[in-house]
Every structure is written in structure tokens, then in C-alpha cells.
Chains A and B, each alone.
Chain A
Amino acid sequence: MKQITTIAIKEFKDYFISPIAYIVISLFLIVTGWFFFSTFFIFGRADLRDFFSLLPITFSFIIPAVTMRLFSEEKNVGSYETLLTMPVSFTDIALGKFFAATLFSLSLLVPTLSYPLFIAFIGDLDPGPVIGGYIGAVFLAGAYSSIGLFASSLTRNQIISFIIGCAMCFTLTILDKLLFFMPEKIIGIVNYVGSNSHFLNIAKGVIDSRDILYFVSVIFIFVFSTYLVMHEKN
């Protein structure tokens, strides 16, 4: 446990030492801010629904950019060897890096807390969906971080790991929009596998154990796959 915290804190700090953190946060705020506020005053609704419905798409591009360096950079520089020859287990490393990435993805959301504050100031904001939306965002960030972590463990090239991560996250996000092309028998399964509907359920303010179980399973599957990749590659 102690090892996990040490690794997580180190990785989290790493983001803020280099310019990555600031670039990614700015980019995220520009993208979400623009798409959200460009239509906000036209509709004139005092809620954050548009912001949250866009979040899975923005996250599926932003989070792989956050996670791509986790393993790839270490493998490229060679510090992976130093890390693995210290008395830490694979599980500690995978979990430590996973928590760091999730935590950083969540810190992206901190500046966006000004949106609900601002809206509450000018209109009548229903707090339920907003709280639900942020809880959903925590799970979504966790799930996509675990996918990005897995993608990063596959290769020493950061660009490749970014692309793999994007492809996987984006596929999960749009899966429920592809149901139209699926044979009738598997529609139920495919719908369950897609992340968008689970996230939107929570974002509506309906916290259902099935949705939470879905995100926890995704996190477990990909952190465990990362562990397996590490094991297989040494």
C-alpha cells in the first residue's frame, strides 16, 4: 500500500513538473468551454447537461494523452529497469500509476467547478444532476485512465500508445450509437459494453449499482491486463 502511494504521488507530481499538465488542462478547458458555452445562451437552460454529454468524447482524447507516458516513457528512457529492480511488485506499480493518472484526470475537472457556480449565480440550477455528473466523471476518468495505462504498457512509443488508447476509449464511447448496425441478438450486450449510457445514467442523477459495477469492472480488467502485460514482457 505504501509503495502504491509513493509511486502515485511521484507520478502525479511528474505531471506538474513538466509543461504537460498545464497544456492538457488548458486544452481541456478551451475545448469543453467552447462547446458548452457556444450554445448555452441560445438554449437558455440553467443546467450542465451539454457539458456532461460531451465529456465522454473529450475524455477519450484527453485521457490517453495524459496516460501515454506512464509506461512508454519509462521504457524508452530505460528507467523501467531501475523501477522493476527495486523491491516493488508489478501490482504496486500498475496501481500506483493508475491512481496518479486518475487523480490527474480529476484535477482537469477542478477548474470546471466554476461552471455550476456561475450558472447557479445567474439562474436556478438543480444540484442533483450536477453532483451526479461529477460522480459519473470520476468513474469515467478512472475507466479511461485504466485503458490508457494498458495502452501505455504495450509499447515504448508514446504516440502509438496515445493512438491505441484513443481508439479504445473512443470505441467504448460511441458503441451505443452503433447499435443500428448490430445484429438484434447482441444489441443488449453491446449496449452494456458501451460506456456512454452508463455515464449518462449517473449524470442524470440516477446512481445505479449496475452502472457503478460496469465502471469498476472496466478498471479491474484493464489494470489487471496491464499487470499481465508487465509480467509477460519481462
Chain B
Amino acid sequence: MVLYRAMLRTLLQRRLETAAIVVIVMVAVMGLASVKLASSYALFLSNKAWTYEVGNIIVDGSFPGPVLTEIDGLEGVQRVKLLKITLTTGEYNGEPVSVALVYNPSDSYPFSYIKEGDGRVLVFTTTGKALVNVGDRITVPGLGDVTVEGRALGVARVVSADIVLFVPKEMEEAAEGVKISAVSIVSAENVNVSKLAEQVKDVIEEGGGSVNRVTVITEEDNPARRPMEAVAESFTMFVSLALISTSLIVLGAEASLLEREVRQVGVLKAVGLSRAAVIALFGGYNLVRGLIGAVLGVLLAIPLSEKLVILGGLGPHAGVQIRILVEKFPFHPDIWSVLEILGIALLIVALVSIIPPALFYRVPTGRALRFTGLTGRTAGRLFSGRPLLAFTIRRIISRPWLALTLTVLIALSWGAVASIPMSLRGVGIIEDEIKWYNYDAVIQTAAPPSMASKVVDLALNVTGVKGAEAWLMNDGIARLNGDRLLAMTCLGEWRLTPRLVEGRWPSKGEVVVSETLSKDYGLHVGDPVTLELGGRARELKVVGVVADHRNNGRVIFLSPEDYLGVVKEDWITLHIASTGDPAYTALQVKYALIESGIPSIVLSTKEDLIEGQHQMVSFMNMVMLIVNTANTLAGFIGIGVLLAIDLAGRLRELGVLRAVGFTTAQKALLISGQIPILSLVSAPLALLLGYIISKSMLTLMEPAVGYLSPIPNVVDVIKTGWVVLGAFILGLALSAIYLRRQSTGSLLRAE
């Protein structure tokens, strides 16, 4: 009991060291816990936005009234919603616009939105920045002038149009244009959604309705899922590095403490304490500190996680109003995740607390008792006759624990930073990787596939258009040996399509596969392949291989005939290539289509596509910058703590140095001089670590940002050496500040 009291006193005496370790453990555990909790919450919200808000079964077609009641009565159906939309062309501020009039009788489901202002006509926006203001007038065929009475801030995009208006039922019915009816169904938990979708289809057809398309939306289909997981995994990787750094700091702190208190270990052994008792006494220090830090870290992570999700939005899941989602699905931390993180943290802290006293117990009692307080061994005869250099080098060798932990900490900090230029190297690379975008703009129309040649001709007649191609809005789904593939087609000439690597574009009964599929399944031009299309097996002939560009290479191209056999009805998506300004040309094409009565909207120009990729890269760069800054800070704090412990352990030695004429600056240089020397050992480790991290990052990021070249820029990698310089300056400043406050006498009297 007396000994434990003594240990407790020591713990309190080392307040600064204790505080530093508590804070470091707290920050690392908080980082890990908040990343884990926040990422799982963000993914949960994203999946909700994807499946719950839109519905996880969407049926396009026509639905006689009683059918809906029947669907509602099916087992496994949680909610049914009929949504009626009229796509039309209108005029706003003297310009032709595409207008979608949506009859949405529910205030909350599906396509949840927040109503801002009263009124029956609400302009809908998913971004919160409505193009149209309340009070504006829009001319709509069949309705005349419609005045916007309010705003609806939505969770998910309803339909593509220049202006989306929520209107009463009679207005939607009176408007002239393309009519769409859709039923959106949310299934109950643990229901076989595909089976339920078949049942819904049967009910509609038996009830006299028709079904154009049944879309089953699962969480796996969530396009934001993989990028979000990639972000979460990269965050986890970096916070794990921070946790390793923290473990090393705790290990190094205790080992350094024991290195200078080895005589005390000797005394305890001399009076008969067992190994277990010594481990308990000295390891108890860190266990207590680690426990406090870990618990505080987890407690702080809980509120932080929700804030992180709100602040960061859903990252790659753009277009979702996070505020609405958070209100609808409040944050509840998963208690098992919390306990898991706490358990991992405590296990690590316990391990690093036990190792040093267990090792120091092995120092022979006699040797431990003869320890004078001045550390240092006859660490070789390196740099014999050159005292200043020899002093620093031999001093490093004489305290291997400190040297080892400092070396690894430098490597971890440096490696994390070095991984940036090795993986994401700015946005310039995207320009090269986006070559397959050989069209300038994408225009979404409300024209059916049968109007393909008319739409293309209209576009080609616009000045500045050098090419136009009719694609379809939706991707079909095909399966190859159970592997889910996107099926695409082109309704006209295959001129602006992704780059063909080999062969030609498909006719009926033929297929073009991506490079990845060709490689993974050994498919070559001329080979037959059996694909599952529209629920049945079809044998097609491979006639070409196309460069990877979407869905991680899981893409096939079908002829329009085969594609439309899978997808009954679709809308034309027009790809155009221009000779001049793509944005201007695309707008002219849109006007031409609208004037011909085809509701259309410019989805994106090539610049938008590139910008989208840039934004993704910028987002990932920001993610890496944040986590690397945190990681480097953690590393620096660790280096600072260890240097402070080193200083505290060599006070008398420093006093002697000052007595023989060393100035404070020279002594600080001796202390901090360890860092550049150790960095020579850290450098290969840091570069290897940076390479491993960057490789992992590339693997994680590829689906999110495209295809990145793994060739690092050597100069940029070398520049990351600023980490060492930073650590050196930090060490210099810390040592100088500390030593300035100590008189030579007090140093010489130090224990």
C-alpha cells in the first residue's frame, strides 16, 4: 500500500507528463471513435436517403386506384406512395425552360422536404439555392402563368428539369406534357425486396395496370456507398496510425522513465518485490493515464461524431440535405462500437504499460543499484575524438528505447505526409484520366428512345455542334456469374463513346466488355459469353473491349435492341460534342429541343464533369490534409513529450555541460540534434510507410476519383522532409524554453 501511495505521488508529481499522455491518448481514441461512429452514421444516413426517401422499389407505369390499396396490403410493404409527374416545356423570364410538375400529396414521404412558406405551388430545390424565387411567374402549357408561392427544401432530387414545382393534383393533371406515374414502395426490414417487387408487379398487372420498369434499390446500389466507405477507410487508416503513434509515446514515456529510475527498480527487487509487483507498480502509471485518456476520448467522440457528419455533410453523397436527414434519423451511437474502441484502446495501453517494466525487471539488481543518475553506456567508439558529435550519437545509442520510439514517431509522422504526393497528386492528373469524356455536354430529355433520330438531328442542326449521340438515361443491370454489371447502349452512331481498345461496337446479339471484365473473365473478341439480362440467360458474342471508365470497370455495352429488351422504357440522354464553347452550345441545343416540345435540361458540360472529378480529388485532398495534420500533430506532441522526458532525465548532465561552458542554445541543439540524426534511420521507414499508405489510398480512392497513376513525383516526396525540420525546430524550441528556466545550480542538484 505504501508503495502504491508512492507511485501515486510520483504520478501527481509528473503532472505535465501525465497531462500530456492523457491528452494524447484522449485525442487518438477520440479520433478513432469519432471516425468509426461518424462514418457508420453517415453511411446509415446515405443509405436512408438512397432507399428510404426515394423508396426501395420504384415502379414506373400506370396504376388504377384500387391497385395501390392492394399493394399497401401486401406483406412486407411498409409504405406505398403514388407520385405523378408532368414533364413539360415552359417559359421563365422570357427563356424556354423544362418544367417538372410534381403532385406529391405527402408532406414528408417520399422525397421528403421542408416547406418554406405557405402556398400550393412550391419550387423544389435539393441545394437550397432556388433558381426561381417566391412570387416569380412561370408559363406552363395547359396552365398559363403559374405563380410560385413557396419553397421546398428537399432531401433527394425528384426529377431532372430546370424548374421542379410541387403542385396540387388538379394542376398536375391539367398541365400538358409527358406524363409519368410512379409508385414508390418502402419495404419493411428483413424482407426479400426482389421477391416483393415481383409481387407488386403481379398485383399491378392483375389489377389492369401496366408496368414499364421495376427498379429495386438496395443499399449496395447506393452510388455514394463505395466513395463514403473509401473516405471512412482512409480516415480509419490515418487515425489508426495516430493510435500507433500514441502507443509508442506511452511506451517510450514509460521506458524513458524506467531508464532513469532503474535504481528504483533495483531497490524494489532488493527488498523482494516480484516481477508482477514491479510491473503493476510501474505499469500502473500508464494504465491509469491511458484509462483516463481512453474514457475521455470515447466520451468526447460521441457528440463530435454527430457534429462531424453535419459539418462534413455526407461527403461524396452530394445533393442530400444533411440537416433534414439528421432531424429525421437522429444520431444514436452504437454501444458495441463504443465498447469495441474502448476495449482496443485499453488493450493497447495495457500492453505498452506492461512491456517496459517487464523488460527492466531483467536488469541485474547489482547493476541497477549502481546506477548513478547519469545515464549512458560505453556505446561504442563512434566519432572518437570528436566529442560534440560523439556526445549526441552515443547518447542516442545509450537510450535505445527513447531512440526507437522517436525514430518510429518521426517515421509515422513523415510517412503519413509523404503518402500525399505519392497518391493524390493534385487535380492536374485528372485532366489526363478523363480523356474518355470525348463529348462536351450531356442533355437529359424527356424524349423516348423511339425519338432518337429526331433528337440527334435537332442537335446536329444547332450551330457549333459537331457531333450528337443518343444514349439512354438509365443503366440496365446485367449479371455475369453473379457479378452485377452496368449495361449501357447508344441509340445512334457510336462516335462519342468511351474509347474502344479492341474490336468494334455491338450489333444485336453482341456485346462489348470493359478491360477489367476482359481480364477478370478471360473474355476476348470472338468469345461467346452468357449473361443474365432481364432475369434470363442470353448468350452473346464479344465483339469489342472498351477502356474502363465507370463502376470500377464492371460495364458492358449492348446493342439498342438487346438493351431495350431489358429496359422497356427510358429517356434519351443526349451527348454532344461542340466546336466552340460547350456551355453555350449545350444551351442552344436545349432551347432547340424545348422549342420542339421536348422537355430538356443541360445536366452537365465536360467542364462540369471534370470539375466534379476535381471536387472529389479536392475533397479527398482535404480529407488527407486534415487527417495528416492531426497525425503529424500527434506525432509532434509525442516527439515533444519524449524530448521533455529525455530532458528531465538528463538534468544533472545538462548542468555539468553548462558548468563547462555550454550555452542554453548549444544544449538545446544537442537535445534536438537527435531528431535529424534519427531521421536518417526514419527516412527509409517513412518512405516505405508512405508508399504503403499511398498504395492503400489509391486502392481505396480509385472507385471514387477515377484512375490515378501510381508514379510519385520524387521532388514532391523529398519536400515532405519538412516534417523532420519541423520536429527539429519544435525540439529546439521546447528544450530552449525549458532550459532557460533552469539555473545551472538547480540542474546540478537534480536527482
A and B: bona fide binding partners: no
A: which residues have CB within 8 A of B?
Answer: none
